[in-house]
Amino acid sequence: MNLTNKTIELYDTTLRDGTQGEHINLSVQDKLLIAEKLDDFGVDYIEGGWPSSNPKDEEFFIKARLLKLGCAKLCAFGSTARSVATVESDPNLLGLLGSETPVITIFGKTWKAHSVKSLGISDEENAELIYRSVAFLKGEGREVFFDAEHFFDGYRDNPEFALKMLRSAVEGGASRLVLCDTNGGSLPHQVTETVAHVLEVTGVPIGIHSHNDGDLAVANSIAAVMAGATHIQGTINGIGERCGNTNLISVIPNIMLKLQRSFLHVELLDQLTSLSKFVYEILNMPSNTRAPFVGKSAFAHKGGIHVSAVMKESSLYEHIDPTLVGNRQRVLISELAGQSNIRYKAQELGIIIPVKSDIIKKIVHNIKELEHDGYQFDGADASFTLILQREMGSFSPFFQVLESKVHIESSINTKNVDQAVLKVKVGEEVEHIAADGDGPVNALDKALRKALIHFYPEIKSIKLIDYKVRVLEEKRGTSAKVRVLIVSSNGKNTWGTVGVSTNIIEASLQALQDSMNYYLFTVKAAIPRVIPSIQK
């Protein structure tokens, strides 16, 4: 394999090391789906698990034989044999062979303290254990990578011992030496110096496996590459034990876009954001909105001065073009917004506001007043759209809630059923409706739908898919305002709305009304493309 100084191998351990993270759990089917996605993206090696450690990983390797991978090679992971005397019969090594993967990665002790205190063996015995384990697997026709566990700590403590263990792995036939910062405590300059020295004395391609306990896993991986490493191990989204592993989602664009280096098979970098989201979805976890490169907020701009500059030249406030990694630029509407924010957001909606128009000043003033009262439009574009359309005179509500009452029932003997009673006006007709629900908000939602369905059957497709409550002014206790954010969907599109009140029921009703009005506006009203000019 051609390992030039411009080409980096990508080794993913999401399916093994990643699953050691708290709250991380993957079924066999989950692992198969992720493996296929990693192969599609261009990952070179996929570490599927430790076959001798649990039945799930053994089942994965059996089913993975049916995967039609394009570029990726599957790897099985395990340790060296337990004893030099039983290498050929060691159940761990035999389990690794039984996985039938073309590549096997084994780890061994390279920190003298671990060899002495954990294994209780001499330096010579540990070196022989590494040599014999690697040689046995190599003799069975497998490519063997050696993960030098706790290498950086071991190298700082006793470099002679650490390097001796690496030489034993090389003599046994290991084709990659992967230096592991297992405790995640190394600094980039230490990684640089160590990798450079190891390359000098071994002559074997060097890899890096960093953990993020010092929040430096990505930095340490990049430092290793700059020092000559040509193999990076990590996980998608940085999941893993304790504080996680090297986040490949951050490493990959830094290597490709900042260092101008290439990976063996990664070509479609614009699939990076979708890969990150796919893994979060399989894990049943929300995406990290503030994740570098791929997060929803990674290219979001809030301050008016920033937005004004971004509209003229995006590189002034963005370190890369977000489309390169499959992300997009966003402008937020808040109390920090200026006219540039409003114009940008209007353009996103397909609305052109003439330069000489006082209406934009009114909108800016209105938004800032609402944010001062506790509203937030970062996740409530639909509510902002209605404000914009109302100010330009192109929107009026499709209905009006005249009265609302909610009865909350609590009993230890029967199932609690709350009831909402609404009086809703549509045109000249008034509907007086009651509905039961599992909680007051659910009852409100049902009552509002019940009142409107006769007039607007389109709302039948709307579903509430997320509901969040944030207490504002916490020091005021039970009299504090609350902000309710609702996300709704019709199965094709999603939209967010917001409501604020000292009464959680009232705030929820505001957000629900905005949700219904926004949807009806999009399906029933033609959005004006140009706001009439209002001269100063």
- The CATH number of residue 85's host domain is 3.20.20.70
Which of 438, 453, 468 is a domain's end point?
A: 453
Which of 407, 422, 453 is a domain's end point?
A: 453
Judge if 124 and 136 occupy the same domain: yes
- The CATH number of residue 438's host domain is 3.30.160.740
Q: What pLDDT does residue 398 have?
A: 93
407 falls within a domain: yes
336 falls within a domain: no
Half-sphere exposure of 244 (CA within 13 A, CB side): 17
Judge if 238 and 377 occupy the same domain: no
Percentage, residues of the chain above pLDDT 70: 85
335 falls within a domain: no
Per-residue pLDDT at 192 exceeds 70: yes
pLDDT (tens digit per residue) in 345-368: 666 666 666 666 677 777 777 777
Which of 267, 298, 332 is a domain's end point?
A: 267
Q: What pLDDT does residue 51 have?
A: 92
Using pLDDT thresholds of 50, 70 and 90, give the confidence band for residue 112: very high
Q: What pLDDT does residue 114 have?
A: 80
Per-residue pLDDT at 438 exceeds 60: yes
Token pair 């369905």 is at which residue?
453
In 3-state terms, what secondary structure has residue 416? coil
Per-residue pLDDT at 2 exceeds 50: no
pLDDT (tens digit per residue) in 392-421: 777 889 999 999 998 877 665 566 678 999
Q: What pLDDT does residue 162 have?
A: 96
Q: What is the mean pLDDT of residues 456-480?
A: 81
DSSP 475: G
Among 190, 254, 195, residue whose Cα is nearest residue 228: 195
Q: From CA 141, how far away is CA 168, in angstroms rounded? A: 19
Q: From CA 83, how far away is CA 512, in angstroms rounded? A: 66
Judge if 92 and 226 occupy the same domain: yes
Supply the mean pLDDT for the chain: 86
Judge if 420 and 392 occupy the same domain: no
Say which amino acid occupies 187.
L
Percentage, residues of the chain above pLDDT 90: 59
26 falls within a domain: yes
Q: From CA 47, how far away is CA 60, in angstroms rounded? A: 11
Token representation of residue 305: 């001065």
Q: What is the mean pLDDT of residues 222-247?
A: 97
Q: What pLDDT does residue 510 have?
A: 94
Judge if 209 and 148 occupy the same domain: yes
Q: What is the mean pLDDT of residues 252-262?
A: 96
**Residue pair 303/336 in contact by the 8 Å Cβ criterion:** yes
**Residue pair 473/436 in contact by the 8 Å Cβ criterion:** no
Using pLDDT thresholds of 50, 70 and 90, give the confidence band for residue 470: confident
51 falls within a domain: yes
Element (H, E) at 231: strand 231-234
DSSP 489: E
Per-residue pLDDT at 178 exceeds 90: yes
Using pLDDT thresholds of 50, 70 and 90, give the confidence band for residue 215: very high
Q: From CA 397, how far away is CA 464, in angstroms rounded? A: 20
209 falls within a domain: yes
Q: What pLDDT does residue 336 have?
A: 45
Judge if 492 and 507 occupy the same domain: yes
Using pLDDT thresholds of 50, 70 and 90, give the confidence band for residue 478: low
Q: Would strands 482-489 and 463-471 be described as parallel, antiparallel, or unpaired?
A: antiparallel
Judge if 467 and 437 occupy the same domain: no
**Residue pair 93/136 in contact by the 8 Å Cβ criterion:** yes
- The CATH number of residue 388's host domain is 3.30.160.340
Q: What pLDDT does residue 491 have?
A: 86
**Residue pair 259/270 in contact by the 8 Å Cβ criterion:** no
Token pair 């090389």 is at which residue?
170
237 falls within a domain: yes
Q: What pLDDT does residue 410 have?
A: 66
Range in 6-20, 35-49, 314-328 the model is least confident about: 314-328
Q: What pLDDT does residue 534 have?
A: 32
Token pair 């630029």 is at which residue?
329
What is 295-361 written as a DSSP string?
STTTTEE-SHHHHHHHHH-GGGT-SS-GGGGT---EE--STT--HHHHHHHHHHTT-BPPSS-THHH
Instruction: Please list the residues that pair with 12 across neighbouring strands.
Output: 46, 234
Judge if 104 and 27 occupy the same domain: yes
**Pairwise pLDDT comparison (384 vs 16), residue with the higher score:** 16
Judge if 411 and 501 occupy the same domain: no
534 falls within a domain: yes
Per-residue pLDDT at 335 exceeds 50: no
Token representation of residue 104: 């096997």
Query: Could you list the residue range(s) of the whole structural domain that residue 379 is in?
Result: 370-396+456-536
- Is the pTM above the cut of 0.75? no
Q: What pLDDT does residue 494 have?
A: 86
Q: What are phi and psi of 152, to 5 degrees?
A: -65, -40
Q: What pLDDT does residue 509 have?
A: 93
Using pLDDT thresholds of 50, 70 and 90, give the confidence band for residue 34: very high
Q: What pLDDT does residue 412 have?
A: 58
Those residues whose C-beta lies under 8 Å from the C-beta of residue 412, and which sit 6 or more positions away, are: none
Q: What pLDDT does residue 380 have?
A: 80
Judge if 389 and 483 occupy the same domain: yes
In 3-state terms, what secondary structure has residue 470? strand
Residue 294's Cβ-count burial label (10 Å; 0-12, 13-18, 19+) is: buried
Looking at the 3D structure of the chain, how many domains does it have?
Answer: 3
Judge if 403 and 508 occupy the same domain: no
Judge if 496 and 406 occupy the same domain: no
Per-residue pLDDT at 1 exceeds 50: no
Q: What pLDDT does residue 526 have?
A: 43
Q: What pLDDT does residue 481 have?
A: 86
Q: Would strands 418-426 and 429-437 be described as parallel, antiparallel, or unpaired?
A: antiparallel
